[in-house]
Amino acid sequence: MRVLLVEDEAEMAHALALRLGRSGFIADHVGAVGDARAALACHRYGLAVLDRRLPDGDGLDLLPEIRRLQPDVRILILTACEAVSERVSGLDAGADDYLAKPVDFDELMARVRACLRRAGGPVTPPVVIGRLAFDLAAREVLVDGAPVVLHRRELALLEALARSAGRIVLRGRLVEEVYGFDDDVEVNALNILVSRLRRRLAELGAEVEIHSARGIGYMLAKASP
């Protein structure tokens, strides 16, 4: 899942991006309201983590635009404003949660998971293909009921394929889901990642296949008997 991280403190942003990355998220970091608007116009996000006091304005000013452009995105406000009135204004403006600095990273990730669970609408059942099950809400992969640990880009790729299981996902869409805009993506990077995920799924005995539509994209399906 791709996350928009809007934070102007470089050290804090780096630490947050690392923690999000270790949890399997692809984090795009920007440090200003204007840059966040540009990112929202170009990419789809599942979560936005917004600081309030930014060089060119208040992070709350982004909320109406985020809700208009990407209605399903979850929004977590992260700021040094500790007053109750500030928290109330943030939640009333449309944020899903509000966390004051200094940040405990374990609590931050717990709040991220809670925000994503509250995504609204009916609960989506896990995608089950072969012996593999992908719980999209919890972002948990199981094979025969046992949890599986994947590299964050492998997880992001599998998630994108699982969401459209049985259908071809275009290469451009997969690149957007798997790589942040600061990543230096080589021409064959996606091919290498797909090959690596194929090997990992085969080692696990997941009984799924990643089919290639040459030059178009990839599709996740149950392995042929």
Structure tokens at 186: 């080589």
Q: How many domains does the chain have?
A: 2
Q: Per residue in 120-139, pLDDT tens?
A: 544 567 899 999 999 887 78
164 in the same domain as 101: no
- CATH classification at residue 61: 3.40.50.2300
pLDDT score for 123:
52
179 in the same domain as 202: yes
pLDDT score for 121:
46
| Displacement of CA 57 from its chain's centroid (Å) | 25
DSSP 186: -
Strands 57-58 and 53-54: antiparallel
Edge-to-edge strand ranges of the sheet holding 2-6: 26-30, 2-6, 47-50, 74-79, 97-100
**Between 202 and 185, the higher pLDDT residue:** 202
Q: Per residue in 65-115, pLDDT tens?
A: 888 888 888 999 887 766 667 767 777 777 888 888 888 888 988 888 888
- CATH classification at residue 134: 1.10.10.10
Where do we find the tokens 């296949």?
Answer: 209
d(CA 120, CA 100): 24
| Displacement of CA 16 from its chain's centroid (Å) | 13
d(CA 34, CA 6): 10
Q: Which of 117, 149, 181 is the last residue of a domain?
A: 117
pLDDT score for 171:
92
Q: Do residues 47 and 111 touch, judged by C-beta distance below 8 A?
A: no
Q: What are phi and psi of 158, to 5 degrees?
A: -65, -40
Q: Per residue in 3-46, pLDDT tens?
A: 999 999 989 899 998 888 888 888 899 999 999 999 998 888 98
pLDDT score for 98:
85
